Structure 1
C-alpha cells in the first residue's frame, strides 16, 4: 500500500510514499491541525488539515492492514525536525 500526495487543482501525483516506509506519525495535542508523517528513507512530511484525526486514524488502520503491526503515533506539542516538506491544501489518496 502507498500514500499518494496529489496536487489539489490538477490531481497530479506530487509524491508517493510506501506505507511500509513510514516509521511513525507525530501529531499535536492542540486543536491546531498539525501532524507529521515520518519517513526515514525520505523527507518527513508536515501536514495541516482540519481532518487531522480522521487522516491519522485512516493511516493507522491502513498501516496495520498492510504490516500487521501498530503504527506508532506520538502525541506532543514539540518536535525535532531535520528534513521536512510542508503540505497545505493537499489531497491524500490511499491505495
Structure 2
C-alpha cells in the first residue's frame, strides 16, 4: 500500500489525463479521508460528491474533478497506483 496526500486547486479535472486507461478512468482503488474542500468523482454509476470530513472508498473506474480547492489523504495499492501515475505523467507530454 502507498499512502498519499493530494491537493487539487479548484477546477482541476484529471479526466483528460486519464484518457486511454480502461473506461478513460483510474482503475486503482483508493481508501481515504477528505481533509478540505469538495471533490466530484465521476464513475460509471454516476457522479458522487465528497466533502471535507468524509471517509471514502473509490472503486476502480473513477475520474476526479475539484469543485473547490481540496485536499485528501488516501491509501492505494502500490503497483496499480504507479501504473496510473505513469500514465498521467506521459499524458502531460
TM over 0.5: no
For normalisation by structure 2, the TM-score amounts to: 0.25
The structure carrying a bigger strand percent of its residues is 2
Higher relative contact order (CA 8 A, sep 6+): 2
For normalisation by structure 1, the TM-score amounts to: 0.25
